[in-house]
């Protein structure tokens, strides 16, 4: 079951580049009976390494925007341990309830983007121009406003990642397209790099605290994630993006409703 659930997470990450990892914690808690804080730790490790597997493929394809991705990732790496630490201040029931609310917010945001058929950049941003611009050689101009905008969003993504054990791709992909006008394929590829680095920072914080990961369970979950990521990247070329986003949005609402109904421990 751990391998199968990892397969689901890898498949969803490969298909969407962001948002799919949000299913990892509910699957671990309700599917495998893993305690909440252990589920967050396993999810961080599994999502980070699975995204890293996908990022390696993106590097070979030349799709990564390193400069934007690294600024985003460094900011997130600094704050992911804060999210991990903050998760200890709340009860398991409170964390799970907040997680369900987050899933609903993400689902609504995902549905709105597909409903208006503007997966890349809102019209208002197109008129004003993106905060981050590229020179004629397609190199990102790291102005102060651009760097600050990328870092600020990375800070928020890192806290969410550490607190909930998620990749944060549902924040990263829209932010990259919004701030830089990267096309969706490059934004998804770059998000995988960010998820990898931020997730590993969160795992490091868990280990520094002296908490032990259930290695056998994590290993099976990660192996399933690798297989799912490969399959997801292949399927993504054949399935329309907006349709996928709507399917995942509906699935998130369903899972959030389930979590809210059975959130007592």
> For the whole model, what pTM was predicted?
0.78
Which phi and psi (to 5°) does residue 134 adopt?
Answer: -110, 145
Which phi and psi (to 5°) does residue 141 adopt?
Answer: -85, 110
Which phi and psi (to 5°) does residue 165 adopt?
Answer: 75, 35
pLDDT in 10s for each residue of the chain, 265 residues: 888 888 888 887 777 665 566 778 888 888 888 888 888 888 888 888 888 887 887 787 777 888 888 998 899 899 988 988 888 888 878 888 888 888 788 778 767 766 654 444 443 344 455 677 776 666 777 788 888 988 998 898 888 888 887 777 777 877 887 787 777 778 878 888 888 888 888 888 888 877 777 788 888 888 988 888 788 777 766 665 566 667 777 877 887 888 777 765 4
Q: At a CB cut-off of 8 Å and minimum separation 6, what does 25 contact?
A: 36, 39, 40, 43, 99, 164, 165, 166
């Amino acid at each position: 079951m751990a391998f199968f659930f990892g397969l689901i997470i890898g498949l969803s990450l490969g298909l969407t580049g962001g948002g799919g990892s949000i299913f990892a914690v509910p699957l671990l808690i309700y599917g495998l009976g893993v305690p909440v804080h252990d589920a967050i730790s396993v999810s961080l490790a599994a999502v980070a390494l699975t995204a890293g597997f996908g990022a390696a493929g993106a590097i070979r394809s030349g799709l990564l925007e390193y400069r934007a991705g690294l600024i985003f990732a460094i900011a997130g790496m600094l704050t992911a341990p804060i999210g991990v630490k903050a998760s200890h201040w709340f009860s398991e029931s409170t964390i799970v309830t907040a997680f369900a609310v987050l899933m609903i917010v993400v689902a609504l945001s995902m549905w709105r983007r597909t409903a208006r058929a503007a997966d890349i950049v809102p019209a208002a941003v197109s008129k004003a121009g993106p905060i981050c611009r590229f020179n004629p050689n397609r190199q990102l101009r790291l102005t102060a406003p651009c760097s600050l905008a990328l870092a600020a969003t990375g800070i928020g993504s890192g806290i969410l990642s550490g607190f909930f054990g998620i990749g944060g791709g549902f924040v990263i992909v829209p932010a990259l397209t919004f701030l830089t006008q990267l096309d969706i394929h490059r934004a998804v590829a770059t998000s995988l790099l960010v998820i990898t680095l931020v997730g590993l920072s969160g795992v490091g914080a868990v280990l520094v605290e002296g908490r032990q990961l259930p290695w056998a369970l994590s290993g099976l979950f990660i192996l399933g994630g690798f297989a799912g990521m490969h399959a997801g990247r292949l399927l993504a070329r054949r399935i329309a993006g907006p349709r996928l986003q709507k399917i995942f949005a509906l699935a998130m609402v369903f899972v959030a409703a389930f979590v809210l109904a059975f959130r007592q421990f």
